[in-house]
Amino acid sequence: MNGLVRRGSAGLGGWDPFRELEEMRKRMASLWERPLELLEAPSERLEIAEWRPLADITEDDKEYLVKLELPGMKREEVKVSMESGVLTISGERKLEKEEKDKKYHRVERAYGSFSRSFVIPDEVVVDKIDAQFKEGVLQVHLPKGEHAKPKTIEVKG
């Protein structure tokens, strides 16, 4: 057992665990200073990212408006449904067919199926929900009922 333990001081060529930790810290720090492209292996597998379209939801006194960015999609590829107070928008953006004479270096755009669901307030008139798709943006108009509109009540004396 004595043969496994080094004797001697760290300054005279002996093993110093703190020096090795400091060297490892310096190596790790230098990795973070390099651009990420330099860290990627040339044979890196191309991976397709999970896709979750971005949404904006706004409200005014007449309606709620849900906007989803769906670039590269067609109206027919999008489905909008309403069930039990939940608005669901789903679809699929298909990966372009890989061409045999092209070499892909990077695929960062996300493809595949998606589904986004939003709980809708009771004041929305479900029968009047309207969806429009234009220039890669889906707009779902959720009109409020008459009872939801603000009303000023005159105080009588």
How many other C-beta atoms lie within 10 A of the C-beta of residue 133?
18
Whole-prediction pTM:
0.61
Distances from the Cα of 122 to the Cα of 16, 33, 45, 85, angstroms? 68, 52, 47, 7
Q: How far apart are CA 143 and CA 121, in angstroms?
A: 11
Q: How far apart are CA 89 and CA 67, in angstroms?
A: 11
Encoded amino acid at 88, one letter: T
Per-residue pLDDT for the chain (157 aa), expressed as one digit of tens each?
Answer: 444 444 444 445 567 778 888 887 777 776 665 554 444 444 444 454 567 899 999 999 999 999 999 998 999 999 999 998 999 999 998 877 767 788 777 777 788 899 999 999 889 999 999 999 999 999 999 999 877 566 677 787 6
In this structure, are residues 85 and 119 in contact, taking their beta carbons and an 8 Å threshold? yes
